[in-house]
């Protein structure tokens, strides 16, 4: 039997319990038809790149599935009928990843970097790139770049003489 990775996007206004019921329903169908779900991960509510059926966010659920193709056709058919499912994606893979998926590793890494606190708390020591110059009027050291230029000649006789030579 082939191996699949299956991701389901559910509406943002569902509770976590309702999302777990959807994944449990899918798992039941897979096991009833002779397949097996080896791993289930709830990735939580994430922002979408664009709106899907008037939703800007969605609950993401990831399943590692070991099942025949007929099982995948059936769960995708049921997901099309379910109004709470916004999108789904099934990808056939050679082997399943061991341990947490890349999304779960990313969430753990982000949590460690932030320290679990408020994001705004540690903003004082960050590198702000070009924006650290201050406001529009306060150019500070960047004014010194212009000091090396020769002074501007006043528009008068010398400028008019140069214009006639050309």
pLDDT of residue 163: 59
Report the C-alpha dihedral over residues 6, 95, 73, 105, rounded to 10 degrees: 0
Are the C-beta atoms of 61 and 121 separated by less than 8 Å? no
Closest CA to 64 of 95, 29, 88: 95
pTM beyond 0.75: no
pLDDT in tens, 82-140: 999 999 999 999 888 787 777 877 777 777 777 655 555 555 555 555 555 555 555 55
DSSP 68: -
- Alpha carbons within 13 angstroms on the beta-carbon side of residue 129 total 0
pLDDT of residue 95: 86
Q: Would you put residue 99 in left (φ > 0), alpha (ψ -120 to 50) or beta?
A: left
pLDDT in tens, 39-63: 999 988 999 999 989 999 999 999 9
pLDDT of residue 36: 93
């Amino acid at each position: 039997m082939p191996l699949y990775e299956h991701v389901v996007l559910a509406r943002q206004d569902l509770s976590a319990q309702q999302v777990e019921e959807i994944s449990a329903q899918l798992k039941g169908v897979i096991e009833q038809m002779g397949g097996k779900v080896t791993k289930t991960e709830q990735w939580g509510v994430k922002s979408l790149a664009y709106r899907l059926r008037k939703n800007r966010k969605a609950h993401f659920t990831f399943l590692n599935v070991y099942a025949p193709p007929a099982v995948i056709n059936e769960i995708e058919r049921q997901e099309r009928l379910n109004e709470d499912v916004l999108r789904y994606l099934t990808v056939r893979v050679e082997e399943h990843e061991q341990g947490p998926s890349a999304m779960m590793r990313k969430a753990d890494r982000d949590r460690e970097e932030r320290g679990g606190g408020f994001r705004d708390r540690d903003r004082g020591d960050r590198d702000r790139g070009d924006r650290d110059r201050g406001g529009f009027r306060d150019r500070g050291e960047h004014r010194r770049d212009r000091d090396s230029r020769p002074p501007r000649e006043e528009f008068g006789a010398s400028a008019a003489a140069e214009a006639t030579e050309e």
